[in-house]
Amino acid sequence: MAHSYTPGLKVLKKTIFKKERILPLKGDVLVKSGDQLTPDTIVASTNLPGNVQMLKVSNILNIDPKDVVEALQVEEGQEVNKGDIIAETSGIFGMFKSSVESPVDGTIESISQSTGRVVVREAPIPVEVDAYVSGVVDEVVENEGIVLKSNAAFIQGIFGIAGEKEAIYCLFHLVLAKNSLQIKLQLI
């Protein structure tokens, strides 16, 4: 039978390991040192900036970029909903008006008089980091996340099925005695 060997392969029945659970941007750490955690405990959260929508108002309304300010119905920092009018021309004798509507819900982030563009930023995207495994908060990394400490079996090898996964593992220990079978079950 063929065997494969992976240099540095380790198998430890019981060990203490530490796992960093860090946010992609600074945010809020929701647990403190010494807290007991389950895999689904949210340990930190933050908001990623929302997507940006660039509106070429001068091109859409067919006006010079310097004239965009006069046509605007909004100002920087104002919240808008999808379909709200961003800018509108006065038209000819009040008729034949052209307008630009917001394509998304968001906030007017900037208005450029030199290019005639308006930037609408969508709502922030919430990001939460969970504990991933059961354990104890060993260290809090201020505004970023935690270092979690846990007891575990450690099996090092090479295997991949796309990203992080979490689960409860069961270890079975079979004991054969004369005319009987004992099963010991341990949840990890």
How many Å separate Cα 151 from the centre of its chain?
A: 27
Residue 184: its pLDDT value, please? 59
The pLDDT confidence band at residue 155, using thresholds 50, 70 and 90, is confident
Full-model pTM = 0.61
The pLDDT confidence band at residue 17, using thresholds 50, 70 and 90, is confident
Closest to 74 measured CA to CA, from 95, 96, 99, 50: 99
> Does 183 or 34 have the greater pLDDT score?
34
The pLDDT confidence band at residue 183, using thresholds 50, 70 and 90, is low
Domains of the chain: 11-43+131-187 (no CATH), 52-123 (2.40.50.100)
Q: Tell me how far apart the alpha carbons of residues 87 and 71 are, in angstroms, rounded to a whole number.
A: 5
Closest to 56 measured CA to CA, from 103, 95, 92: 103
Calculate the average pLDDT of the chain: 84
Long-range contacts of 81-84 (CB under 8 A, 24+ apart): 81/105
- Is 75's pLDDT higher than 60? yes
> Does 47 or 178 have the greater pLDDT score?
47
Whole-angstrom CA distances from 152 to 19, 65, 164, 185 are 12, 63, 17, 16
Q: Tell me how far apart the alpha carbons of residues 139 and 144 are, in angstroms, rounded to a whole number.
A: 11
Report the percentage of the chain scoring pLDDT > 70. 79
Residue 63: its pLDDT value, please? 87
